[in-house]
Amino acid sequence: MARVLLSKEIQYQLCFTAREKLGVNWAGLARYFQISPSTLANWYKCERLLPLEIFSNLVKITNISISNPKLLNDNWGRVKGGKMVWSRYGRRPINKNPGYGKDGISLAKKFPIPSFSRDLAEFVGIMLGDGGMSQNQISVTLGYTTDRKYVPYIRKLIGRLFQAKTSTYRAKRKDVIRIRASGVNLVKNLLALGLVQGNKIKQQFDIPVWIQQSDDYIRSCVRGLIDTDGCVHRKVRKERNGFEYRSIGITFCSASKPLQKSFMQLLDKLGFKPAISGRTIYLCGEKQIKRYINEIGFSNSKHLFRYKAFLEVYGWKKVASEKLYSSVI
């Protein structure tokens, strides 16, 4: 399990503040997390590092902002133990477990858990949008015709973050291209970062807490979500006087209620005023759209292309109905 490396003062502060916020003693806090009191004692006495999941929950409870905490791989403890045996006895520990190497560490390929960053937040947004995870593989599924220029960007992002090789698969009878990266430990690392495995909708997935602690992370995650499950669209509002008002909007659609709520909250935290109808969240108005373009932007070039294509004819203009033009796209 991934762990978070914090100073002893901050780790104790998180645990103590959570206890005070919940109005419980140490035993009550242990019951809240469904762990033994001795395990909790190891955490608040700073004798053990906090698991990433527990750290995220503590941050959510206390509302304490922790900037760029360091993450340790899920095998950090076994590596440390192997080094101790080697230094004390001049030999590696005896391997008694099939499927493990001589040092007692799994032979499965290891992948780094990157530190929290804008790149990681954007990748999480991409995975929350069009991503999926099985037991030993992650994938991002996109439209071939519309998103193929976006594919190299995602592949480079995965390689940069996780040092993982990716492949692509194009379906023969569907306009779909899929980016894949394999590895049991890669999946474990992404689970530790707050993503879910299997059917995301049934699990009502949500934006990980750590992203919500930084405006930079929020902007990057929103970009990843819009690039995958968002749309730039044109709008026409007909008026009684024979004129119509043309404008451009940005929408995001999700069937996950928690994700909808969090997405609205994140935009609100950045100073935007979104609206929601059913599964779709709308961002409208010239100031808001132009601000989105300037401050968040797109990594998927199809959205920027549509925006520029719409701008001349639908750029917040009032025109007479008899002078309508055909669609630019």
pLDDT band at 203 (very low <50, low <70, confident <90, very high): confident
Percentage of the chain exceeding pLDDT 70: 86
pLDDT band at 128 (very low <50, low <70, confident <90, very high): very high
Neighbours of 178 (CB within 10 A): 17
- Structure confidence at residue 213 (pLDDT): 79
What are the chain's domains?
A: 3-72 (1.10.260.40), 118-204 (3.10.28.10), 220-323 (3.10.28.10)
pLDDT band at 75 (very low <50, low <70, confident <90, very high): low
- Structure confidence at residue 93 (pLDDT): 52
- Structure confidence at residue 74 (pLDDT): 56
H or E stretch covering 220: helix 215-229
Judge whether residue 189 has pLDDT over 90.
Answer: no
Q: How far apart are CA 211 and CA 206, in angstroms?
A: 11
pLDDT band at 215 (very low <50, low <70, confident <90, very high): very high
Judge whether residue 139 has pLDDT over 90.
Answer: yes
Q: Tell me the mean pLDDT in the region 240-267.
A: 91
Chain segment 281-322, per-residue pLDDT in tens = 999 999 999 999 999 999 999 999 999 999 988 888 888 865
Higher pLDDT, 68 or 44: 44
Neighbours of 317 (CB within 10 A): 12
Between the alpha carbon of residue 20 and those of residues 26, 46, 50, 64, the distances in Å are 10, 18, 19, 13
Highest mean pLDDT among 36-50, 87-101, 149-163: 149-163
**Vertex 215 angle, CA 231 and 190, to 5°:** 75
- Structure confidence at residue 77 (pLDDT): 53
Out of 155-159, 234-238, 281-285, 291-295, least confident range = 234-238
Structure tokens that stand for 8 in this block: 């002893």
Q: Quickly list DSSP for 157-208.
A: HHHHHH----EEEE-SSSSEEEEEEE-HHHHHHHHHTT---S-TTTTT----
Q: Is 151 helix (H, G, I), strand (E, B) or coil?
A: helix
Higher pLDDT, 267 or 196: 267
Q: What's the predicted TM-score (pTM) here? A: 0.70
Judge whether residue 89 has pLDDT over 50.
Answer: no
Structure tokens that stand for 309 in this block: 């294509």
Highest mean pLDDT among 112-116, 192-196, 280-284, 314-318: 280-284
Highest mean pLDDT among 198-212, 234-248, 271-285: 271-285
- Structure confidence at residue 101 (pLDDT): 52
Q: Which of 113, 141, 269 is nearest to 200 (CA)?
A: 141
Q: Tell me the mean pLDDT in the region 172-177.
A: 89
E strand intervals along 85-157: 131-133, 137-143
- Structure confidence at residue 107 (pLDDT): 56
- Structure confidence at residue 99 (pLDDT): 46
Judge whether residue 328 has pLDDT over 90.
Answer: no
Backbone angles phi, psi at 108, to 5 degrees: -60, 145
pLDDT band at 220 (very low <50, low <70, confident <90, very high): very high
Q: Tell me the mean pLDDT in the region 103-121.
A: 76
Out of 138-142, 152-156, 206-210, 304-308, least confident range = 206-210
pLDDT band at 153 (very low <50, low <70, confident <90, very high): very high
Residues found in the chain: 329
Mean pLDDT of the chain: 84
